[in-house]
Amino acid sequence: MANAPSGPLPPIPLTVLTGFLGAGKTTLLNRLLRDPALADTVVIVNEFGEIGLDHLLIETVDEDLVLLAAGCLCCTVRGDLIATLEDLLRKRDNGRVAPFRRVVIETTGLADPAPILHAVLYHPYLSQRYALAGVVTVVDLVNGDATLDAHPEAVKQAAMADRLVLAKADLAGESGALAGRLRALNPGAPMLAARDGAVDAGALIGSGLYDLSGRIADVAGWLQAEAVEEAERRSHGSHAPGHHHHHDVNRHDARIRAFCLTSDRPVPQGALDMFLDLLRSSEGRKLLRVKGLVALAEDPEHPVVVHGVQHVVHVPAVLDRWPSEDRRSRLVFIVDDLDRSYVETLWNAFLGRPGIDQPDAAALADNPLSLRR
């Protein structure tokens, strides 16, 4: 009988998939997971908010998917990420899970990539067992310029990537200016156009190692700042002074927050369409992300998947079946300076819930802003 291999095990390739809210990460990941090149891949999903949905929309078997604790995948749950990666290794080494060949971390769209990269590159144990094979950033060609203007996380996501995926080209017009801006942020990363959400897996998930060369000088500075903050955090046993992330998992900062609206009863198609259209037209700029599963009154056995980003609400996709036993309609919102009560009152109005009758709902169609207090 052949002897068991001696010496250290080869490191497991790990890819970070990032990109701002609604850029198309989950769509891309689903396409990639159908490719034989990504067989035996464990997916770690980080979600922001009180009710997670992304893990229900990823087409993979349960034992190959880990849902990370709610919250932004940055310093607030960095310990959870490290613990999850260590736990995966223990289970793999002990034969409690199949010997997976690759790990993909899909971050929330609000994640700063620097803490994630620092955890994998410089952790004394994880850096030996995992090899950072790449950082893939999905950029929404429709909203990319405005997103880079408004959100420093999006700038970091683009600058730290070693592969940039340009999504939603079918919805975008001329994108040369955005491409030039991305090239200035990240001169070395190839740009790959996603066709119907798909990119060649071989080109995207490479076999090499993440290389800091070719990045703008800011990238090394962000990682260095992360190292200093991590040292201070360890020294104080808590968050470093001056780091202002909130502990509420539904709040990213003073303006950005998440919440979920639900309905135990199926929703009429017309009511859903009117609700989304009015919200998009009146508050689109503040809708960083809308994602949900909805049971339509016309066909409650086949839920529809709702996706929206700012002023764009995509045509809902229909699923063959519910992905879990929970058959409530759920719409998760990530908003920028938008009052939950306004959205919730609008939702209740079109569902005809007690307190708001149908005439009021009809009036809202003409003046949705009349709900503001």
What structural domains does the chain harbor? 12-236 (3.40.50.300), 256-371 (3.30.1220.10)
Q: At what angle do helices 340-351 and 269-283 cross, to 10 degrees?
A: 150
CA–CA gap between residue 224 and residue 75 (Å, rounded): 15
Whether pLDDT at 247 is above 50: no
Average pLDDT, the chain: 76
Crossing angle (nearest 10°) for helices 78-93 and 113-122: 40
pLDDT in tens, 314-366: 778 888 888 888 899 988 888 888 888 899 999 998 888 765 444 455 555 55
Give which of 31, 24, 29, 48 is closest to 138, Cα–Cα: 24
Nearest residue to 131 via CA among 8, 5, 7:
8
**Residue 106 has what pLDDT?**
86
Question: How far is residue 109's CA from residue 47's CA, in Å, rounded to a whole number?
Answer: 9
Instruction: Using the predicted structure, report yes or no on whether residue 301 has a pLDDT greater than 60.
Output: yes
Q: Compute the distance between CA of residue 139 and CA of residue 125 in angstroms, rounded to an integer.
A: 32
Ranges assigned E (strand) in the chain: 12-19, 41-46, 65-68, 102-106, 130-140, 163-167, 191-193, 256-263, 287-296, 299-309, 312-313, 317-318, 329-336
Strands 312-313 and 299-309, by their bridges, are antiparallel
What pLDDT does residue 130 have? 92
Closest CA to 185 of 118, 244, 137, 127: 137
Which amino acid is located at 95 in the chain? G
Q: Which two tokens stand for residue 164?
A: 């940039």
Residue-wise pLDDT tens digits, 38-71: 788 888 887 654 444 454 444 443 445 565 544 4
Among candidate residues 371, 343, 373, 349, the one with its CA nearest the CA of residue 362? 349
Distances (CA, A) of 74 to 102, 152, 249, 271: 22, 14, 12, 37
SS3 state of residue 186: coil
Distance CA 222, CA 116 (A): 12
- Taking 80 as the threshold, does the pLDDT of residue 204 lie above it? no
What is the model's pTM?
0.67
Q: Look at residue 196 and give its three-state secondary structure.
A: coil
Q: Are β-strands 65-68 and 102-106 bridged in parallel, bridged antiparallel, or unpaired?
A: unpaired
Phi and psi dihedrals of 130, rounded to 5? -120, 145
Long-range contacts of 93-97 (CB under 8 A, 24+ apart): 97/42, 97/63
